Amino acid sequence: MNYHEIAFPENSLFLVTGGAGFIGSNLTEALLSMGYRVRVLDNLLTGYEKNIAGFRDNPKFEFIKGDIRDAATCDRACEGVSYVLHQAAEVSVPESIEQPVSYTMTNIIGTVNVMEAAAKHGVKKMTYASSAAVYGDDETMPKREEIVGRRLSTYAVTKFVDEEYAYQYTLNYGLDCYGMRYFNVYGRRQDPNGAYAAVIPKFIECLLRDEPPTINGDGEQSRDFVYVEDVVQANLLACAAPHEAAGEAYNVAAGKRSSLNEMYAVLSKLFGKDLKPVFGPERKGDIRHSGADISKIKKNLGYAPEYDFSRGITAAIQWYKENLKA
């Protein structure tokens, strides 16, 4: 459904943690476009000032530069807030294996700090970013929320623990929490740079520059690619959901999966280019196949993805063409 049809009380204040990041800035943009007040909390380590520069002149936008690892900062950020959209996190699977303490401090302690502050200030609803990584080594396909395996990375562990804390805060502390178990999100403002960048923006950047991309492994690993507009929809639906749907985690996906080779073939065709990819080593901690059953989020939250891969990737390519310097 079109998320602009979702209505909240007129003077609602939304806190978006990680609001200068990829998903967070899209949530911020959507809420401002709907006329609501938005406060962003971001330490600008993985988020970017350029992602929020266009919001600075909006009187309904407020920015706090701060870190979720600091409880006092979270407390201040949650004052007067109606809804929390918690996106702040460290998000690289390979990096999490190299830096387990950092990921634990940010993704677990930081998330509990936000939940504690939200509960203290009487926040109505809180959504938080979980991940398909929690499915680990379970081979069930498509992935259903109630069936998980052993986690394969520190990142996956942190997201699984976040879900457990969310259940506790819903059950015992009066804070309705809704887990957004993201699959492979893509779209405008997703950073193509860095060693751990997501695959779609890296591929697009390579094609724009006529450079062959590197595919980790044999390219037959599959993913459920979901466009960021549908992720925005899922979060806002959760903010409007009944208490009975709280304390749960929900697959946020398109409900269809493609191999990396298939995805790259579509991109190549759209660009009209024939650059043979380079195949590199598999990434440590990666899940082989990832596809979502989205029946639970459809039933409980009313989610209905509006972007198939063709529509979403066309919109994404257009954004990168306009915003990436060749």
Cα dihedral sign, 281-284-289-291: negative
In this structure, what token pair is assigned to residue 265?
């073939």
In this structure, what token pair is assigned to residue 112?
């509990």
Cα–chain-centroid distance for residue 31? 16
Looking from the CA of 82 toward its CB, the CA atoms found within 13 Å total 14
Would residue 227 show up in a list of annotated catalytic residues for this protein?
A: no
Q: Choose the catalytic residue: 3, 128, 135, 155.
A: 155
- In angstroms, the Cα distances linking 185 to 93, 131, 229 are 15, 10, 9
Helix crossing, 228-239 with 22-33: angle to 10°?
60
Could you give the CA distance from residue 289 to residue 196 in angstroms, rounded to a whole number? 19
Q: Which amino acid is at 246?
A: A
Q: What is the 8-class DSSP label of residue 55?
A: G
In three-state secondary structure terms, 244 is: helix
In three-state secondary structure terms, 67 is: coil
Contacts of 152 (CB under 8 A, 6+ apart): 93, 133, 136, 137, 285, 286, 287
Cβ atoms of 185 and 254 closer than 8 Å:
no
Give catalytic residue positions: 155
